[in-house]
Structure 1
Amino acid sequence: MKRLKKILKIFFISIIILILLGIGFTFLFGDKIEEIILNKINSKLKKELSLSEIEFSLFENFPDASVTFSNILIQESFQNSSDTLLFAEEGIIKLNILNVISQDYSVNDVEFNRGVINIKYNENGDPNFDILKDNDEENNNFELNNLNLSNSRFTFSDEVEKIYTSSEIDNINLSLTKEDEKFICNLNGSLRNDSLVVDELDYINNKNVSFNSEIEISDDSIFITSTNLSIGGVDFKNLNFDYSKLSSEYLLTTETENADISNVIFATPKEYQYLYEDHEISGKISAKVEIRKDTNFANPYSEIDFKLNNCKYKSKTQPFELENIYSDCHFDNDSTKRNFDFTQFRFSNFKSSKKGGDFNADFTLTNLNKYYLNVEMFSSWELRELNDFIEDSPFKNMKGTVSGFINYHGNLSFDSKMSGYFANSTHTADLNFKDVYLNYKESELDFVFGKMNWEVDNHNVKISKNKFSVSQSELSFNGNIDNLILYILNEEEKININGKLASDKMIFEELFTITELSSEKEGGVFIGPPNLSVLPTWLDVNISVNVKEFWYNNFTSSDFTTDVNYDSKNLKLTADEIDMQTLDGSISGDVIYFENKLHDLVLKSNLDVNKINISDGFKSFDNFNQTFITNKNINGIATANIYLQSMWDKNYKFYSPSLHMSSQLRIENGELIEFKPMYNLSDYVSLEELKEVKFATLKNKIRIENEKIIIPEMDIHSTALSVHVSGEHSFANIMDYKVSLLLSDVLGNKVKESMSLEEIEHNHEGKTTIQLKMSGHVDDPKITLDKVQLKEDIVNEIIEEGEEVIKIIENKILNKEDPDEKKEKEELDIKIEWDDKNPKK
């Protein structure tokens, strides 16, 4: 214990002695050393060092002795210039204590704190740091092993190369060696770079920079190597920079590994930051970089091979996001062009995922001034993503999925320009849709697709393997649709459909409501501009239709086939070669439906009706919106050839004067059941017989024109009576008929109840008839005798009977053998008086 105390005592005494010796040495030799150091520095400088204070100390920077300068100033070397080359509030020169004792004042370390360093090359390429006096000695080399700069500002400018930079130095340690005409500087430290401008382009602005580098400067070149360089949080390794002062050419190579993409974007020169304005990108990136500047080009050539690792992307302008991005990538700006127009990004084995799908591709993006994309990709989408992605699409509330392979060659944009770029692109695709649901415009109809395949070739879509429903209609379509995608993107005003439409069940009145969406209506009234069409202008159609079960309100048919053509330019719909089984018979023919210049809707048709059930026909068409004769009043089998023309206004209001029909009608096994207008003949025929009137065959040519049904003369031989009818029946139910009844039927007051339909057709020629006129409203008809016609008929019949009597007398009674001998007939003198005052009603 005593030994330890003795050792400590000796140690502390030694320390005190050393301190006292140091203080004494400083007091005795401090000023001299200060003067020697200052003179030594000034002896090297062309301009003397300026300072406010100098102080020597053995202890302040122990174990080194030091000379501290306050407010040190060195002016730049340009003649007639007093600008600052170096200023520091504090400058420290460190000396080895033993060397100082032996009067060797070699400098080991130098520190500058809170200073300013301004390095310049003027327009002649002359530096402002040529401050050292010329040395007559052959060996003009020197070495500074350790120079520390802290809390200082550094600026550099080169008027020839147009390079400017300024930085706030946190801490930099450097060593400087001069060998012949070559300077070698080793740097290690950190700073905050305010700007690094080369040819008016600011490459680094407001970035933190740290480095471990070596700079070699000669008369004709600058060579920089850096094992580690960090700019704005991006760590670069193995950086090499070779610059030729003579040609201004340079080559930069470096690499980075697993750098944060957000830091890469932050480190990107301010001039190029606009490239990221509409995008959010995050994740990791590894890259190998080569940047080369050649004499023959204004811009450098850049080539970067990089990999994306677990990245994310989000568009700021569109609802589009990708995540889990992995890709091998390449970037260059074309060594022969070196501008944005020929810059390209190439992505290989690009794999990513997004909400509800994948996005995998090989693609190349070129021309950063106007993006151009070449891509081969497989992608899958939730269709609900497209509801917001495609603005103003006519298809709403889309649900389901779509997946497939897509090839696209065209411009790319993440704003409203994209639809126009797509219209001018070259593209193909093989797309598969599944469980799709959508609405069209404001229609309440639900479109539902189970599975559907699209083969896209530019603006043509070939659709197959699709069965879908529109509300209650069950449909399938195979064919081509032109400009469908462009129409969705509002780049085309119409689509063109060619193909085959099949349906197990078609509810036509529902489907037809889609055509009304092209017009502007309010409360069912057309409110659009006068030149706006009623029929759709967005659709051209040329399809064959095969429908197993067709419904239009109460009308049904089966095995309905036709070829449909719709021409939106002429607003004309045609249905050719219509054929259907309906109403226990069949209908065939052609239909034309078009919009005229006044926006009226016109229907023209030629139909062949073969043995249809009349009662079911009346029922199917709701008795044609009249009550005069209904499906309960008529029965029979009809065959007819019908030409029909009618017109509606733009509000689908029927224009009755336009209705024109011409038909050749044949009704077999006909029956009028409790047809009240027949009851008006009850004065002539038994009412009981008129309740159910049957007839075998009825033939006639019936016309409709000027709001009247025109019935030419026709004979109806029925179980109740035989009638000869002609006349007109207006749409206002005003009748004007001429009716002829057999006198024998009237006198008998009824027809034999046992008379069959076959017996009805027996020849009634030669029997006397009664002529009636039926006129007025159907609810209050007026029936009168047509006396003029009745007189003529009876007179003619009596004359014919008289002539027959004469022939009998001559041949039988007078025994004239030659009945064919021509003799003049004596006119019978027969008179019939008519009492017209009180005609029987």
Structure 2
Amino acid sequence: MKRLKKILKIFFISIIILILLGIGFTFLFGDKIEEIILNKINSKLKKELSLSEIEFSLFENFPDASVTFSNILIQESFQNSSDTLLFAEEGIIKLNILNVISQDYSVNDVEFNKGVINIKYNENGDPNFDILKDNDEENNNFELNNLNLSNSRFTFSDEVEKIYTSSEIDNINLSLTKEDEKFICNLNGSLRNDSLVVDEVDYINNKNVSFNSEIEISDDSIFITSTNLSIGGVDFKNLNFDYSKLSSEYLLTTETENADISNVIFATPKEYQYLYEDHEISGKISAKVEIRKDTNFANPYSEIDFKLNNCKYKSKTQPFELENIYSDCHFDNDSTKRNFDFTQFRFSNFKSSKKGGDFNADFTLTNLNKYYLNVEMFSSWELRELNDFIEDSPFKNMKGTVSGFINYHGNLSFDSKMSGYFANSTHTADLNFKDVYLNYKESELDFVFGKMNWEVDNHNVKISKNKFSVSQSELSFNGNIDNLILYILNEEEKININGKLASDKMIFEELFTITELSSEKEGGVFIGPPNLSVLPTWLDVNISINVKEFWYNNFTSSDFTTDVNYDSKNLKLTADEIDMQTLDGSISGDVIYFENKLHDLVLKSNLDVNKINISDGFKSFDNFNQTFITNKNINGIATANIYLQAMWDKNYKFYSPSLHMSSQLRIENGELIEFKPMYNLSDYVSLEELKEVKFATLKNKIRIENEKIIIPEMDIHSTALSVHVSGEHSFANIMDYKVSLLLSDVLGNKVKESMSLEEIEHNHEGKTTIQLKMSGHVDDPKITLDKVQLKEDIVNEIIEEGEEVIKIIENKILNKEDPDTKEEKEKEEELDIEIEWDDKNPKK
């Protein structure tokens, strides 16, 4: 313990002695040393150093002695200029204490704190730091091993090369050697760079920079090597920069490994930041960089080979995101062009994922002024991702998945221009859709696709393996659709469909509602501009249809086939070679449906109806919206050739005067059941007989025009009576019929039972008839005897019977030749038969 105390005592005494010696040395020799150091510095300078204070100390920077200068000022070397080259509030020169004692004043270290350094090259290429005196070559060389700058500002400008920079220095340590007109500077430290402008491009703007570099400056070149350089958080290794002052050419090579892409974007020159404005990118990147400036080009050539590692991408303008991005990449701006128009990014083995899908590709992106993309990729998507991406599309609420191979060659944009670029691109694809659901415009119909394949060749889509449903309709389509994708993207006004449509079950009234969506309606009333069409203008169709089960309201058919063409330019729909089995028979023919210039809808059809069930027909078409005769009142088998024309206004309101029909009708095994207008004949025929009237065959040519059903003269031979009828029946149920009844039927049916269908074929020729007129509203008909017609009929019958008697007498009694064989003689002969009537109306 005593020994320790003794050692400590000796130690502290020694310290005190050294301090006292130092104080004494400083007091005795400090001013001299200060003068020696100052003179030594000024001896090297063309202009003397300006300062406010100088102080020597052995202890302030112990173990070194030091000379501290306050408010140092060195002016630049340009003639007639008093601008500052270097200023520091504090400058410290450190000396070895032992060397000082031995009067050796070699400088070890120099420090400047809170200073300003301004380095310039004027328009003649002359520097402003030519401050050293011109001595002999041997003495002109010097070496500064350790210079520390802290809390200082540095600026540099070169008026010839148009290079400007300014920085706030945190801390820099440098060594400087001059040898044979060559400066070699080693730098290690950090600063905040306000700007680094080269040819008016600010390459480093407000970035933190740290470095460990060596700079070699000669009369004709600058060469920089850096083992480590960090700019804005991006670490570069093995940087080499070779610059020729004579030609202004340079070559920069460097590399970085696993740099953060967000830092790379931040370190990108301000002038090029716009390239990232619409994009968010993160992840890691490794790169090898070469930038070369040649005399013959205004812009440098850049070539970068880089790898993306676990990156993410998100568009700021569209709902598009990718993650888990990996790729081998290449960038260059074409060594022969060196501008943005010929700049390219090439991505190989690009792999990524996104919500519900993958995106793998090889692609090249060129022309940074107007992106152009060449891509071969496989991608899978959740269709819901496209809802916002194509929000102006008529297809809404899309769900399901799509995957496939895509080749695209065209411009690329992440804004509204993309749809136009797609329209002008070259592209092919093989796409497979699965479990797709969507709606069309405001339609409530659900479109559901189980599986579907698209083969895309530019703007043509070939669809196969396609079964889908629209609400309750079950459909399948094989064929081509032109401009489908462009229509989805709102770049084309119409699509063109060619192919074959098959259906196990088609509910036509549901599908037809889609055509109404092209017009603007409110409460079912058309509210669009006068020139807006009712029929769709967005669709051209040329398809063959084969439907196993067809429904339109209550009408059903099977094995329905036709060829359908819709021309949106002329707003005309044609259905040719219609053939269907329906109503226990068949229907065939052609239909035309079009919109005229007044936007009325016109239907024209020519149909052959073969043995259909009339009652079922009335029922299927809701008794044609009338109650005069319904499916409960009529039965039978109808065969007809029908020409029909009708018109609706733009609100689908039927224009009844337009209805025109011409029909050659044949009804077999017909039956009128409790047809109340027949009861009006109950005064002439038993009511019971009129409740169910059967007839074997009815033939006639029935017309509809001017809101009237026109029935030419026809004979109806039924179980109740035989009728000869003609007349008109208006849509307002106003009748105007002429009816002829056999007198024998009127008298006989009061007492006898009804005849059988076989007896209906009995020849009624020669029977006396009763002529009736039936007129007025069906609810209050007026039935009267047509007396004039009745009298004429009876007279004609008597004359015919008289003539027959004369013929018998002449042939049988007088043995005259048959009058049919002697027409000329008959014309010369005259019958003199007189018939007298009580009402003095004789008739010959």
TM-score band (shorter)? over 0.9
Tell me the residue number matched to 1:693: 693
Structure 1, residues 44-72: CA drift from partner, whole Å, max 9, x if none?
10000000111111111111111111111
Residues 617, 5 of structure 1: alpha-carbon distance in 2 compared, 3 angstrom cutoff: same
**2: distance between equivalents of 1:183 and 1:706?**
111
Q: Distance in 2 between matches of 1:52 and 1:834?
A: 163
**What's the CA shift for 1:835?**
8.6
The structure-2 alpha-carbon separation of the partners of 1:840 and 1:573, relative to structure 1 and needing over 3 Å to count, comes to farther
CA deviation vs aligned residue, 1:493-517 (integer Å, no higher than 9, x gap)? 0010111000000000010001000
Q: CA deviation at 1:391?
A: 2.4
> Equivalent residue for 2:274?
274
The CA deviation at 1:178 is: 1.1
1:343/1:367 contact within 8 Å kept: yes
* Distance change >3 Å, CA 593–CA 823, structure 1 → 2: closer
Residues 694 and 757 of structure 1 are in contact (CA less than 8 Å); yes or no, is this contact kept in structure 2? Answer: yes
Give yes or no for contact 2:172–2:189 (8 Å, CA) kept in 1.
yes
User: Which whole-Å CA distance do the structure 2 matches of 1:832 and 1:693 have between them?
Assistant: 39
TM-score, normalised via structure 2 length: 0.97
CA distance in 2, matches of 1:54, 1:817: 171
Q: Is the contact made by 1:689 and 1:750 (CA closer than 8 Å) also made in structure 2?
A: no
The answer as to whether partners of 2:689 and 2:754 remain within 8 angstroms in 1 is no
**Do the aligned residues in 2 keep the contact of 1:721 with 1:750 (CA within 8 Å)?**
no
- Of stretches 22-31 and 228-237 in structure 1, the one that deviates more from structure 2 is 22-31
Change (3 A) 1:309 1:739: same
The match for 1:202 is: 202
Aligned counterpart for 1:825 among listed residues 821, 824, 828: 828
- Asked if structure 1 preserves the Cα contact closer than 8 Å seen for 2:836 and 2:842, the reply is no
Alignment of 1:98 with 2:98, yes or no, is yes
- 1:65-104 alignment, distance < 5 Å: 65-104=65-104
Structure 2 CA distance for aligned equivalents of residues 760 and 696 of structure 1: 7
Q: Give how far 1:14 is off.
A: 1.9
Distance 1:137 1:412 in 2: 63
Q: Describe how 1:686-835 pairs up with structure 2 within 5 A.
A: 686-750=686-750, 753=753, 755-809=755-809
- Give a deviation string over 1:514-552, Cα, whole Å, max 9, x none: 100011111111111110000000000000000000000
Contact kept, 8 Å, 1:802 with 1:828, in 2: the verdict is: no
| 1:191 and 1:209 in contact (8 A); partners too | yes
Quickly say closer, same or farther: Cα 1:678–1:56, change in 2 above 3 A. Answer: same
The alignment partner of 2:826 has SS state of coil
Deviates more, 1:375-384 or 1:812-821: 812-821
Quote the offset at 1:837 in angstroms. Answer: 15
SS at match of 2:681: coil
Looking at structure 1, the residues matched to 224 and 180 of structure 2 have their Cα atoms a distance apart, in angstroms, of: 19
Structure 1 pair 145–686 and aligned structure 2 pair: CA distance change class (3 A): same
User: 1:260-313: CA deviations, max 9, x gaps?
Assistant: 111111100000111111111111111111000000000101111111111111
CA distance 1:499–1:837, shift in 2 (3 Å): farther
TM-superposed deviation, 1:829: 6.9
Query: Structure 1 residues 266, 834: closer, same or farther in 2, change over 3 A?
Result: farther
User: Alpha-carbon deviation of 1:797?
Assistant: 1.0
Partner of 2:305: 305
Tell me, which stretches of 5 or more residues in structure 1 are unaligned? none
| Structure 1 residue 758: Cα displacement | 2.8
**Offset, 1:789:** 2.0
Shift of 1:21: 1.3
Aligned length: 841
Q: CA deviation at 1:751?
A: 8.6
Tell me the alpha carbon deviations over residues 185-239 of structure 1, each in whole angstroms, 9 at most, x when there is no partner: 0000000000000011100011000000000011100000000000000000000
Q: Which residue of 2 aligns with 1:501?
A: 501
Q: Which moved more, 1:782-791 or 1:814-823?
A: 814-823
Q: 1:815 to 1:254 in 2, by over 3 A?
A: closer
Structure 2 vs 1, CA of residues 54 and 324 (structure 1 numbering), >3 Å: closer, same or farther?
same
- Partner residue of 2:841? 838
Structure 1 position 738, deviation (Å): 1.1
Moved more, 392-401 or 135-144: 135-144
User: Quick one: structure 1 residues 237 and 814, their matched pair in 2 at CA, closer, same or farther if it must change by over 3 Å?
Assistant: closer
Partner of residue 554, structure 1: 554
**Structure 1 position 766, deviation (Å):** 1.7
CA drift at 1:13: 1.9
Structure 1 pair 751/344, CA: closer, same or farther in 2 (3 Å)? farther
State the shift of 1:826 in Å.
Answer: 8.2
Tell me the CA shift for residue 162 of structure 1. Answer: 0.3
Deviation at 1:8, TM superposition (A): 2.5
CA distance in structure 1 between the aligned counterparts of 2:409 and 2:532, rounded to whole angstroms: 37
Shifted more, 141-150 versus 736-745: the winner is: 736-745
Q: Is the 8 A contact 2:836 2:843 kept in 1?
A: no
Tell me the SS of whatever aligns to 1:810: helix
1:838 Cα deviation from its structure 2 partner: 17
Deviates most, 56-65 or 126-135: 56-65
Aligned partners of 2:834 and 2:843 also within 8 Å: no
CA distance in 1, matches of 2:145, 2:115: 20
Query: Does structure 1 conserve the Cα–Cα contact (< 8 Å) formed by 2:819 and 2:826?
Result: no
Is this contact kept in 2: 1:719–1:751, CA < 8 A? no
Matched residues in 1 for 2:280 and 2:840: separation?
106
- Give the 3-state SS of the residue equivalent to 1:11 in structure 2: helix
Shift in Å, 1:25: 1.1
Cα shift at 1:790:
1.8
Q: Is the 8 A contact 1:586 1:609 kept in 2?
A: yes
Query: How many percent of aligned residue pairs carry the same amino acid?
Result: 99
Q: Is the 8 A contact 1:409 1:427 kept in 2?
A: yes
Q: Deviations over 1:139-186 (max 9, x none)?
A: 521111100011111000000000000000010000011111111100
What's the Cα RMSD here?
2.3
- Relative to the length of structure 1, the TM-score reads 0.97
Instruction: Quickly say closer, same or farther: Cα 1:840–1:227, change in 2 above 3 A.
Output: farther
Secondary structure at the counterpart of residue 392 of structure 1: coil
Q: Is the 8 A contact 1:785 1:839 kept in 2?
A: no
CA distance in 1, matches of 2:840, 2:98: 168
Matches within 5 A, 1:312-331: 312-331=312-331
Secondary structure at the aligned position of 2:732 is classed as: coil
- Equivalent-residue separation in structure 2 for 1:627 and 1:754 (angstroms): 28
**Matches of 2:24 and 2:324 in 1, distance apart?**
73
What does the per-residue CA deviation read over 1:574-626, in whole Å, with 9 as the maximum and x for residues that have no partner?
00000000000000000000000000000000000000000100010011011
The alpha carbon displacement at 1:665 in A equals 0.6
| Farther-moved stretch of structure 1 (678-687 vs 411-420) | 678-687
- Aligned partners of 2:348, 2:726: CA distance in 1, in Å? 86
Give the Cα–Cα distance (whole angstroms) in 2 for the partners of residues 561 and 441 of structure 1.
29
1:125-164, aligned counterparts within 5 Å? 125-164=125-164
How far has the Cα of 1:430 moved from its partner? 0.9
Distance across 1 between alignment mates of 2:732 and 2:94: 124
Cα distance in 1 for residues equivalent to 2:787 and 2:392:
75
| 8 Å CA contact retained: 2:287, 2:307 | yes
Question: 289-298 or 57-66: which moved more?
Answer: 57-66
- With over 3 angstroms needed to count, the CA separation of the structure-2 counterparts of 1:839 and 1:311, relative to structure 1, is farther
Aligned-residue offset at 1:823: 7.0
Please state how far the C-alpha of 1:809 moved relative to its aligned partner.
4.5
CA contact (8 A) 2:438 2:446 kept: yes
Superimposed CA distance per residue, residues 813-833 of structure 1 (whole angstroms, 9 cap, x where no aligned partner): 677799989678987777777
Q: Is the alpha carbon distance of 1:670 and 1:321 closer, same or farther for their aligned partners in structure 2, counting shifts above 3 Å?
A: same
Query: Shift of residue 839 of structure 1?
Result: 20
Q: Is the 8 A contact 2:154 2:167 kept in 1?
A: yes
Partner Cα distance (2:842, 2:689) in 1: 25
- Deviation of 1:101 after TM superposition, in Å, equals 1.2
Give the 3 Å change call, closer, same or farther, for CA 420–813 of structure 1 in structure 2: closer
Between stretches 792-801 and 169-178, larger displacement belongs to: 792-801
* Distance of 2:567 and 2:492 partners within structure 1: 16
Distance 1:612 1:465, change over 3 A: same
- Distance in 2 (alpha carbons) for counterparts of 1:420 and 1:741: 78
Q: Deviations over 1:94-148 (max 9, x none)?
A: 1111111111111111111110100000000000000000112545211111000
Does the CA-based 8 Å contact 1:674-1:690 persist in structure 2? yes
CA contact (8 A) 1:720 1:751 kept: no
Residue 466 of structure 1 and its aligned partner are, at CA, apart by: 1.1
* 1:752 CA displacement: 5.4
- Distance (Å, rounded) in 2 between the aligned partners of 1:105 and 1:837: 173
Change in 2 beyond 3 A, CA 1:533/1:840: farther
| 1:431 matches 2:431 | yes
CA separation of 1:796/1:47 partners in 2, compared to 1, >3 Å: closer, same or farther?
A: same
What is the alpha-carbon distance in structure 2 between the residues aligned to residue 412 and residue 137 of structure 1? 63
Q: Hey, what's the Cα distance between the residues in 1 that align with 2:144 and 2:371?
A: 53
**2:612 touches 2:638 (CA, 8 Å); kept in 1?**
yes
Q: 1:647-701 CA distances to partner (integer Å, 9 max, x unpaired)?
A: 0000101111100000111111111111111111122222111111111111111
Conservation of the 8 A alpha-carbon contact between 1:637 and 1:669 = yes
